Each structure stands twice: as structure tokens, then as C-alpha cells.
Amino acid sequence: MRIKGLRAFLLALVAALWLMPVAGRAAPLALVGFGDSLMAGYQLPSSESFPAQLEKALRDKGHDVTIANAGVSGDTTSAGLARIDWSVPGGTKGVILELGANDALRGVAPEQSRKNLAAMIEKLQKRGIAVLLVGMLAPPNLGADYAARFNSIYPDLAKTYDVPLYPFFLDGIVEEAKFKIDDGMHPNGAGIGIMVDRFLPVAERFAATLSKGE
């Protein structure tokens, strides 16, 4: 009986010691990728979307993070502003904010796009949620005046609201057909991989800052 009792005690002790680190472990850093079809992963398996590939890349680098995919294909900055309150759940520590491409494709006045993005940043910051702003460039066919007004939105907002900026989301693939699906516009899984590789250093700094609680 004494041996059985000792064995039971030792098993219970081992179980307790095994579970203690798990119980005390901090929850993963909760991020949200908020954007349009480029964020959502248009016509791609969910595992090949930008949030999924970036989460894996960050985890491979040792960052304990989760990245929820809050991309909606077709979203403009106006649509994003309308849904940002309920699309970014409580407990989120940081948002990767990527919108504006559809505004440019539709010829929306850059001043309106700027206003909408500014309102989204303000909403998130009032909730104590950090923002990593992702830039976009206007298509060249819209002319130099439109491009100058549109392209300045992102660096200006980053400076105004003191948020980190990734200048151009499609950097590295915009002129590479092999990294796009058949529509010639949206990235394929390999294209997303290229985007993630280029984005990763900025994302690492963003995650590290949030993990430190700065």
C-alpha cells in the first residue's frame, strides 16, 4: 500500500510540474491582418493567405503569435472603416492595416481614402491597439497628379500617427506574372511567399515591440 501510495504521489507531482509551465505561459500575441483581397488571399487556400504565411514565418523565427485574417475581397477604405470596430476583436494587440488598392482602381479621391485610413488608425489607437500601416501605389494609368496625391497618403499618415510603415505591399511581385493568379493582378501562393519574405523584418520589429509592451 505504501509503495502504491508513493507511486501515485510521484505521478501526481510529475503531472503538476508538467502542467505548471503551460498554466503560466503567456497567451500568443494576437494580431489581425485587416485589408482587402490582397490580405484575404483571393482564390487561394487559407493556408496560403498572407496572414497564414506570415504567422508561420514569425513562428519559425521564434515569435509566439497568431494572425487572424480579416481581409475582405473588394473592400475599399470606406468599407473597411464601416467594419473595423467589429472585425477587430477584443484582445487584439496589433493590426496590420492594408487598404487603398481598390480605392485607386475605382478612382476614389485620394483625400477621401486618406480620411478613411486616418479614422481607422484613430479608432484602433483609442482601443490601445498598435497599427502597422501597409502602403500601396497608384496605378500609373491614373496620371501623375493622382499618383502624387495617392502615394503620399501612407508616409504622411505614418508620420502623423507615429506608426510603422511598410511602403508597398506588392513589392517584389508587381511586375512578375509568375507570382500571380490568372487574373494578372492578385498574387498566387508563391507570390505571397515573396511578399512575406520582404515584409518579415518589419513584422518582426512590430511583434517584438508589442511583446515588450512598449
Per-domain residue ranges for the chain? 28-211
CA–CA separation, 159 and 155 (whole Å): 6
CATH number of the 28-211 domain: 3.40.50.1110
**Per-residue pLDDT tens over the stretch 131-175:** 999 999 999 999 999 999 999 999 999 999 999 999 999 999 988
Identified catalytic residue from 60, 145, 162, 183: 183
User: Rounded to 10 degrees, what is the CA torsion of 145, 101, 128, 200?
Assistant: -110
Q: Is 87 a catalytic residue?
A: no
Rounded-to-integer distance, Cα 101 and Cα 76, Å? 7
Give yes or no: 183 in active site: yes
Residue of 37, 49, 63, 103 with catalytic role: 37
pLDDT winner (highest mean) among 3-7, 11-15, 49-53: 49-53
DSSP annotation of 183: T
Taking only the tens place, the pLDDT of each residue in 33-61 is 999 999 999 999 999 999 999 999 999 99
Query: At 180, is the secondary structure helix, strand, or coil?
Result: strand
For residue 166, the model assigns a pLDDT of 98
Average pLDDT over residues 95-105: 98
Kindly state the average pLDDT of the residues 57-81: 97
Amino acid letter, 111: E
Give catalytic status of residue 37 as yes or no.
yes
What would the pLDDT profile of 107-118 be if each residue is shown by its tens digit?
A: 999 999 999 999
Q: Are strands 94-98 and 65-71 parallel, antiparallel or unpaired?
A: unpaired
- For residue 133, the cross-strand partners are 97, 165
Q: What are phi and psi of 115, to 5 degrees?
A: -60, -45
